Amino acid sequence: MKERDSESFESLSQVLPNTSNPTHVIQMAMVNSGSSAVAPARQDQLDRSKWLLECPEPPSPWQELKRQVKDSFVTKAKKFKSLRKQPLPKRILSILQAVFPIFGWCRNYKLTMFKNDLMAGLTLASLCIPQSIGYATLAKLDPQYGLYTSVVPPLIYAFMGTSREIAIGPVAVVSLLISSMLQKLIDPETDPLGYTKL
């Protein structure tokens, strides 16, 4: 048994002679753990450990931004090339569907769905009205601003949004941050109009 272990260690040390590297130490420990040869599963573990110990540098935020912008422009350019071949009314409809997704799903909308949506809207409104007034108070603003921020954005999102589950509107943390940051610039007690504008 020891002879097999020493043979496998020698064969591995010929491939990886440097024992100061942590990856090599892990590989040698795996060889000495009782098996005579490195199995494919263990080779995967070695590759993973090497990846963890010698991982590449992540891309900078600037490089990531450039890549994302480039990818989005490439996909949009491909879509516009395919649009040019279509007749003008279809082209206009597809552009409108890209900006306003409601044009895509409203064709399949039924009266039963509207009843459910109306009930959900009334339920959420009964919660959002006092909640949004409270958020406006936290931000040291008049109550109507809380109502604006809880009613207008969901109406816009109904036409331009793509998710059915996302919640749109003010939250307590943002309201607290607004009041704590803006009070350093303008006092809402002495200049309420300037504070509201800011």
Contacts by 31-40, CB closer than 8 A, 24 or more apart: 31/5, 32/5, 34/5, 35/8, 36/4, 36/5, 36/7, 36/8, 37/8, 38/8, 38/12
Model pLDDT, residue 23: 54
How far apart CA 111 and CA 97 sit, in angstroms, is 22
pTM here? 0.49
- Check residue 29 and give its pLDDT: 55
Two structure tokens written together for 4: 């097999």
Q: Which residue has the higher pLDDT, 153 or 37?
A: 153
Q: What is the pLDDT of residue 86?
A: 76
**pLDDT tens per residue, range 109-154:** 888 888 998 998 899 888 888 999 999 999 999 999 999 988 888 8
Mean pLDDT calculated for residue range 64-68: 83
Smallest Cα–Cα separation from 13: which of 33, 1, 27, 2? 27
50 near 23, Cβ under 8 Å? yes
Q: pLDDT above 70 covers what percent of the chain?
A: 73
User: Any idea what DSSP says for residue 164?
Assistant: S
Outline where the chain has alpha helix (H).
2-15, 22-31, 40-53, 61-84, 88-99, 102-105, 111-138, 143-160, 172-182, 192-197
pLDDT digits (tens, 9 = 90+) for 70-111: 777 677 667 666 767 778 788 788 778 878 888 888 888 888
Q: How far apart are CA 26 and CA 94, in angstroms?
A: 56
Q: What's residue 12's pLDDT?
A: 46
pLDDT of residue 16: 47
Per-residue model confidence (pLDDT) at position 22: 53
